[in-house]
Structure 1
């Protein structure tokens, strides 16, 4: 059995650290309804599941072992984050009353997490610390499921809070400020990912 007493609080602390997924959820919550926020969370968690299963089956070990594979994903992820930032900064043409389709939220949440090489490295380096050596894939899979639950609890709480202030978030001036802020943060995240070794 994994050490869940240590893993659960550690997973909560990791979830609380704002990153591209948190920025995407805030942005999507400001653009759409509660349904769109939940679709974004589903996309984020699909990305978590992708990296978690990659760790369980040893696929994310390739990122750690192969510098070329890691760099390809790192540069691709950086380009995608910069693209999102530039799009938010210069090409956002949503009208205040326009409803965003939930599929857009799911897609955005998923792509932000899957294109983040740090999530893959996190899965392969962080999760196994809580699993006894030589215990096989089941305890690691249990850690992945707990990671998912912790993330869902955190992001759902955040989405419900954002929904409560939804009218304020959807004011034109607030939305413009959020788009600019999220755009700048995505560009900064992308540049940071690109420059890291």
Structure 2
């Protein structure tokens, strides 16, 4: 049961991160709004594949650190909690005009589904903040006594969240009436996610 609730907390962090606008959000909105639903979902698949590479790298690195130095692991862990708080504060300062302006930068040329997947993949893979974020998050939940199967569960979680959220977003943004309403409140979504990250960062720093 303790494993389940820890995983639920991890899931909340992942959902908040996925919903907070960033490079992945811009790439998805650009392709879904400029082209069609299939292109948006293909982009979401690429974004999830990019996240999977970061997850593999981070899990492997944290596993190595755990076996080498408890002190270094704690440095990463508490530094990670601080980073979550920092990201949350930035999200709280979200401005609707900035978010919408970034989303409005659409491509003029057409893209194939394969190109859309690659765009999503490279967008997340080449985002330096992504690996820092996942290192910060995983360091709060991965510990020496954790079984390999549970680590796999944690690894699959952000990949699935990334794909499901952005696929859903592609569907929303290809519905004209829903799209207008969504873009009017997206900055409030980002602020809500920012508040969640600050709260979780403080909790993880103080109580784990």
Question: Are the aligned partners of 1:63 and 1:120 in contact in 2 as well (CA < 8 Å)?
Answer: no
CA deviation after TM superposition for structure 1 residue 184, in Å: 0.4
Change in CA separation of 1:13 and 1:77 when aligned onto 2, cut-off 3 Å: closer
Structure 2 residues without counterparts, runs of 5 or longer = 32-39, 108-115
CA deviation after TM superposition for structure 1 residue 188, in Å: 0.8
What per-residue deviation string (whole Å, max 9, x for no partner) do you get for residues 137-162 of structure 1?
xxx3x654554445544543444343
- RMSD over aligned CA atoms reads 4.3
Question: Are the aligned partners of 1:25 and 1:37 in contact in 2 as well (CA < 8 Å)?
Answer: no
Q: Using the alignment, how far apart are the partners of 2:78 and 2:153 within structure 1?
A: 29
Question: Are the aligned partners of 1:85 and 1:187 in contact in 2 as well (CA < 8 Å)?
Answer: yes
Q: Which residue of 2 aligns with 1:82?
A: 89
Q: Which residue of 2 aligns with 1:70?
A: 77
Q: Which residue of 1 aligns with 2:191?
A: 184
Structure 1 residues without counterparts, runs of 5 or longer = 1-6, 132-139
CA deviation after TM superposition for structure 1 residue 182, in Å: 3.0
Equivalent residues in 2 for 1:42-121, closer than 5 Å: 42-59=49-66, 67-87=74-94, 89=96, 91-92=98-99, 93-94=101-102, 96=104, 98-99=106-107, 102=120, 103-107=122-126, 111-112=129-130, 114-115=132-133, 117-121=136-140
Q: Which residue of 2 aligns with 1:19?
A: 15
Partner SS, residue 195 of structure 1: helix
Q: Given the two structures, how large is their TM-score scaled by the length of structure 2?
A: 0.57
Q: Using the alignment, how far apart are the partners of 1:121 and 1:62 within structure 2?
A: 15
The alignment status of 1:124 with 2:120, answered yes or no, reads no
Change in CA separation of 1:192 and 1:155 when aligned onto 2, cut-off 3 Å: same
Change in CA separation of 1:162 and 1:53 when aligned onto 2, cut-off 3 Å: same
Q: Which residue of 1 aligns with 2:171?
A: 164
CA deviation after TM superposition for structure 1 residue 76, in Å: 2.9
What per-residue deviation string (whole Å, max 9, x for no partner) do you get for residues 49-93 of structure 1?
233213432349857766544333322332234334535556321
CA deviation after TM superposition for structure 1 residue 41, in Å: 1.8
Question: Are the aligned partners of 2:92 and 2:192 in contact in 1 as well (CA < 8 Å)?
Answer: yes
Q: Using the alignment, how far apart are the partners of 1:60 and 1:90 within structure 2?
A: 47
Q: Using the alignment, how far apart are the partners of 1:155 and 1:47 within structure 2?
A: 12
Q: Given the two structures, how large is their TM-score scaled by the length of structure 1?
A: 0.59
